């Protein structure tokens, strides 16, 4: 299917968060020359509640994605959700975001029968960076939207493969080795923090992607949107 809209929801709706989400979509639209349809909807609080762990005081994002897959996935929207609560994934203390890609790094599309999209938590960014959380959040949005669209492309020489000698940790796998690209991993040894990466890339590279990933983004976005 083409031109499937995003359902965008915020656990605590705010004009500020809404504005940053819009900046991320507009950036991708400008780069790719496609229009990405999106509807702002209410969050499904029962789904959020059943994925929340009171003992950890965090949302389990893998449970949340499972709930989204089975509870109301109808194949007609992509997800973009923003939580205020802290979030974790399997084997992690916390995660900023978790994306189920719509395009694989080789450019093939994921079947429409799976719920796809990105879920974010702004909890850590707000805690680490206080009033300055907005730029790292914008970078995180762009990074995850890049994953959704199949970035970094596996045809990129900077693509970090499994067991790649350039990998600084397992978390580098599936990311881009280029410092000028949003698809570089952050917050692991030898990579920048979310804040330093945002400062660096917003100053040095207006497109926010390396050339190879930018070309793949254009190609892949045009497979999904006109
Ligand atoms: Zn990533
Ligand atoms: Zn790249």
What DSSP element (H or E) covers 189? Answer: none
What domains, with CATH codes, occur in the chain?
1-150 (3.40.390.10), 157-217 (no CATH)
Q: How far apart are the first and last CA of the chain?
A: 11
Q: Point out the least confidently predicted range of 21-35, 72-86, 87-101, 131-145.
A: 72-86
List the helix and strand counts (H, then E) for the chain. 7, 8
Q: Which ligand is nearest to the CA of 215?
A: 2
Q: Which residues lie below 8 Å from residue 168, measured CB to CB, with a gap of 6+? A: 185, 188, 189, 190, 191
* Averaged confidence pLDDT in the chain: 95
Q: Which ligand is nearest to the CA of 191?
A: 1
Q: How far is the CA of 177 from the centre of ligand 1 (A)?
A: 12
Could you tell me the pTM of the whole model? Answer: 0.96
Collapsing DSSP to helix, strand or coil, 107 comes out as: coil
Contact 186, 214 (CB under 8 A): no
User: Which residues, by Cβ under 5 Å, contact ligand 2, an ion?
Assistant: 152, 176, 178, 181, 183, 210, 213
The token pair at 48 is 């959020």
Mean pLDDT of 124-147: 97
Mean pLDDT of 122-141: 97
pLDDT number for residue 186: 95
Q: Which ligand is nearest to the CA of 179?
A: 2
139-161 confidence digits (pLDDT tens): 999 999 999 999 999 999 999 99
Q: How far is the CA of 50 from the centre of ligand 1 (A)?
A: 26
Q: Of 47, 56, 174, give the one whose Cα is nearest residue 119.
A: 47
Q: Point out the least confidently predicted range of 34-38, 67-71, 98-102, 154-158.
A: 67-71
The secondary structure of 192-210 as a DSSP string is --HHHHHHHHHHH-TT-S-
What are the helix (H) ranges across 4-87? 15-32, 45-50, 61-71
């Amino acid at each position: 299917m083409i031109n499937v809209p995003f359902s965008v929801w915020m656990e605590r709706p705010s004009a500020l968060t809404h504005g940053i989400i819009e900046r991320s979509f507009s950036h991708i639209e400008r780069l790719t020359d496609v229009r990405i349809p999106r509807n702002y909807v209410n969050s499904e609080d029962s789904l959020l509640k059943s994925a929340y762990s009171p003992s950890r005081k965090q949302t389990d994002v893998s449970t949340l994605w499972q709930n989204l897959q089975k509870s109301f996935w109808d194949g007609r929207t992509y997800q973009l959700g923003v939580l205020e609560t802290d979030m974790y994934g399997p084997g992690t203390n916390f995660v900023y975001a978790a994306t189920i890609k719509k395009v694989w790094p080789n450019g093939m599309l994921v079947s429409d029968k799976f719920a796809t999209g990105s879920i974010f938590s702004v909890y850590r960014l707000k805690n680490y960076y206080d009033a300055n959380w907005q730029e790292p959040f914008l970078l995180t949005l762009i990074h995850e939207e890049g994953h959704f669209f199949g970035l970094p492309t596996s045809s990129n020489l900077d693509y970090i493969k499994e067991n790649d000698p350039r990998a600084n940790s397992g978390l580098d796998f599936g990311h881009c080795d280029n410092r000028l690209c949003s698809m570089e991993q952050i917050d692991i040894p030898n990579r920048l923090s979310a804040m330093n990466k945002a400062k660096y890339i917003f100053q040095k590279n207006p497109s926010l992607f390396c050339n190879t990933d930018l070309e793949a983004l254009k190609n892949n976005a045009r497979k999904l949107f006109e």
